[in-house]
Amino acid sequence: MHDRTGDVLDISANSLAGLLDAAHEPILVRDLEGRILFWNQGCEALYGHGREVARGALAPDLLSTVFPAPLDQITARLLAEGRWEGEVTRRLADGREAVIALRWSLRRDVSGGVEVLETGRDVTEARKAEEALRRSEYRFRNVFHAMSVSFWELDFSALAGMFGALRAKGVTSLRAHIAENPRFVRQMMEASQVVDVNDKSLQLFEATREQLLGPVDRFWPPCSEHVFAASVIAALEKKPHYESEARFRTYDGREFDGLFTCCYPREYLPQGATLVGVIDITDRLRAQEDLARVQAELAHAARISTLGELTASIAHEVNQPLSAIVTNGEAGLRWLRRATPDLEEVGRAFDRMIGEANRASGVIGRIRTMAVKGEPEKARLSLGPLVEDSVLLVRRELTTHDVALRVQVPADLPEVEGDRVQLQQVLVNLMVNAAQAMAEAQERVLTIRGSVDEAMVTLSVADTGPGVPPERLVQLFNAFYTTKAGGMGMGLSICKTIVQAHGGEIAVVSAPGEGASFVLKLPRAGVAQEAD
């Protein structure tokens, strides 16, 4: 045996075998047919077979070896080149499969025959890890390219320098710095680079890959700057991801609505890289707008139909001041036509006439707002006056049905935020339903109560009618559910839509024989904003 310098080492065959046996590496010697001649401790440790089993056995059989190519070809190479290297799969004594990296070399034995010296290395775990990595990389690439979401890989490493400069100037809060220097957001965008995009991005942003690569600011219109700023702050605060709706701009400048998602994988962040997804939600927003418009139209149609039901009430509310005007006019004329006209009394009659006329026009004004179709408006509303206005529309209806009304709404109830006409519509609906439900009842009392509980203001409209059987409770708010001969079954369904659009909820509570109570919960104005 020669070392690298070519000196002959004087090692006897025996002591060589001893050395090889003690080596940790699995070393095997076999003849050309595969019969095992030498099996060291390393082999025992790796394959699990003792040397008494291994010696004399055929290596491919003992180890159920699966070669990467037909064995003849491998052997031919070994004979031609004197060596072979490759990976095989072998079965261990305990039945497990292992991937072994083999090195074979030919050597002549003492009698001139040919032997194969094999060293092996267990690479099972390394191959498994590589495979897992390959799969995960494949999955990632697949998702990156095949999903119908526009994906961007961003390099924002330049931001680190900008933040460093800010810190050096004594800035401790990026949020506060942005509030004072809104331009900084645009500068951050200019410094953030798009380094890769998937095919969907080309389609969504109407550009080629080359056009999309580069500074990201070109795709963010000014109205979305706050979203970009919030996503950077989320990354700095070590949030795992960030999501928001935002406006985007295509390469040619057309704007569209998108859902922007950003994730900050820990292993990416130190390299200043992140993955951003944009989903086009133009259609979704358009559908939402259409739905809102149809709902508003339906609510309006229902209001008109309610007003139709309340014609008698409304006529009464208008007639009363009109008769009062006539009475006062007549009285005024009488004072005027006296031998000595009493102008002071005439003046008083005029004052009363004006007061009544104002009352009538007030009633008409309220009805007009209910009848006119307008965009829902958001305003701060006190529930007391809202209840009063609604009662005015149904007062006559209640009197006709001989219903006693009790209103217990504290004057200091917190305000809610919403559309006056729509909320009034809800109350009118609940009151008309209650009056109709009590038509046959012995005792007819309608109670409206107001209360507050932390973030929600509650209004309940309770009657002493027959109540709602438990099995019908869930159906009540379904569209077209009605038990009335001429009913449409839309009233409560529309009430629910309106209340939910105000961020609230409506439910009915009814114990058998104790009437029904519709409970309306609406968020206090300003509470949601303060909680943010």
Question: Which one, 274 or 517, has the nearer CB to ligand ADP?
Answer: 517
Output the CA angle 449-523-482, nearest 5 degrees.
60
Residue 426's nearest CA partner among 394, 464, 471 is 394
Tell whether residue 188 is a contact of ligand ADP (CB under 6 A).
Answer: no
β 517-523/241-249 pair status: unpaired
Tell whether residue 463 is a contact of ligand ADP (CB under 6 A).
Answer: yes
Q: Structure tokens of 387?
A: 């209840």
Selected from 516, 520, 522, 525, the binder of ligand ADP by CB under 6 A is 516
Q: What is the distance between the alpha carbons of residues 458 and 463, in angstroms, rounded to a whole number? A: 16
CB 470, min distance to ligand ADP, A:
13
Angle between helices 420-437 and 282-309 (to 10 degrees): 50
Q: How many residues interact with ligand ADP (rule CB under 6 A)?
A: 20
Q: Is the dihedral of CA 508, 511, 515, 521 positive or negative?
A: negative
Ordered strands of the 114-122 beta sheet: 36-39, 27-31, 114-122, 97-108, 83-91
The strand pairing partners of 104, in sequence order, are 84, 118
Residue 454 three-state SS = coil
Q: What are the percentages of helix, strand and coil residues in the chain, rounded to 5?
A: 50, 25, 30
Tell whether residue 465 is a contact of ligand ADP (CB under 6 A).
Answer: yes
Q: Which stretch binds ligand ADP (CB under 6 A): 85-93, 416-424, 446-454, 479-487?
A: 479-487
CB 311, min distance to ligand ADP, A:
17
β 445-453/404-408 pair status: parallel
Question: Which one, 40 or 306, has the nearer CB to ligand ADP?
Answer: 306
Selected from 468, 498, 506, 525, the binder of ligand ADP by CB under 6 A is 468
Query: For ligand ADP, what does the binding mask look like between residues 390 and 429, x meaning CB under 6 A?
Result: ---------------------------------------x
Query: For ligand ADP, what does the binding mask look like between residues 428 and 457, x meaning CB under 6 A?
Result: -x---xx--x--------------------
CB 380, min distance to ligand ADP, A:
28
CB 382, min distance to ligand ADP, A:
25
User: Which of the residues 480 through 499 are near ligand ADP (CB under 6 A)?
Assistant: 481-484, 487-493
Pair 405, 446: CB distance under 8 Å: yes
Question: Which one, 102 or 490, has the nearer CB to ligand ADP?
Answer: 490
Element (DSSP H or E) covering residue 105? strand 97-108
Pair 279, 258: CB distance under 8 Å: yes
Residue whose Cβ sits closest to ligand ADP: 491
Question: Which one, 70 or 513, has the nearer CB to ligand ADP?
Answer: 513
Which residues are near ligand ADP by CB under 6 A?
Answer: 429, 433-434, 437, 463, 465, 468, 476, 481-484, 487-493, 516
